[in-house]
Amino acid sequence: MEAKVGKFFDSVTNFFSGSDQLPWCDADIIAGCEKEAAGADNGSDESKNECLTRFSWALVHSRRTEDVERGIAMLEASIASTTDPLKMREKLYLLAVGHFRRGDYSRSRELVEQCLMFVYIVGRSFQIWNMAGQLKYRT
C-alpha cells in the first residue's frame, strides 16, 4: 500500500513539475504491437522493420521496467544493421527514451546528442547536394 501511495505522489509531482512529458503506453497497446510484429515475419523486410520499430516504441514508453528493458535490448540489437540515417535517428531517439525511463539520464542525453548530430549531417548533406546541383547547371 505504501508503494502505491508513493507512486501516486510521484506521478502527481511529475505532472505538476512537468518533469516527464513523454507519452506512456499501456499493456494492451504493447500486446497489439507484439502480435503485429509476430505476424510480420511473413512480410517484406521493410514491413517487418516498421512493425519492430512500433513494438520497440511501445516498449520504451511503457510504465513497466521489464518492458522498457526489453525495448532497449531490441533497439540495441537492431541498430547495427540500420543503414538509413533517418531510421538510425529514430532508433537512437527511442533508445534515449528508454534510458530516460530507466533513469540513466546521462546515457539518454548522449543518445539525444547523437540524434541531433544526424539531423545536422543530413541537413548539411542536403545543402551540399543542393549547391552541387546549382553549380552543375551553371557550367
pLDDT score, position 111? 93
Please return the burial class of 101, using the count of CB atoms within 10 Å of its CB with bins 0-12, 13-18 and 19+.
buried
pLDDT tens column, 9-55? 455 455 444 455 788 989 999 999 999 988 877 777 788 888 899 99
pTM above 0.85, yes or no: no
CB 99 within 8 Å of CB 111: yes
Cβ atoms of 88 and 119 within 8 Å: the answer is no
Give 59-107 pLDDT, tens digit per residue: 999 999 999 999 999 999 999 888 888 889 899 999 999 999 999 999 9
Please report, to the nearest 10 degrees, the dihedral formed by the alpha carbons of residues 88, 86, 23, 29 taken in order: -80
CA distance 19 to 28: 25
Q: Which pLDDT does position 3 carry in this prediction?
A: 59
In terms of phi and psi (left: phi > 0; alpha: psi -120 to 50; beta: otherwise), the region of 101 is alpha
Helix (H) or strand (E) holding 61: none
- Main-chain phi, psi angles of 113, to 5 degrees: -60, -40
Query: Would you place residue 7 in the very low, low, confident or very high pLDDT band (cuts 50, 70, 90)?
Result: low
**Residue of higher predicted confidence among 6 and 49:** 49
Helices and strands in the chain, H and E counts: 6, 0
Q: What is the mean pLDDT of residues 117-134?
A: 74
The whole-number pLDDT of residue 12 equals: 43
What gap in Å lies between CA 44 and CA 34, rounded to an integer? Answer: 17
The pLDDT value recorded for residue 20 is 59
Kindly state the DSSP code that residue 42 receives in the 8-state scheme.
G
Q: To which residue does cell 516498449 refer?
A: 59
Q: Which residue has the higher pLDDT, 125 or 107?
A: 107
Q: What is the pLDDT of residue 2?
A: 57
Please compute the mean of the pLDDT values over residues 102-131 and round it to a whole number: 83
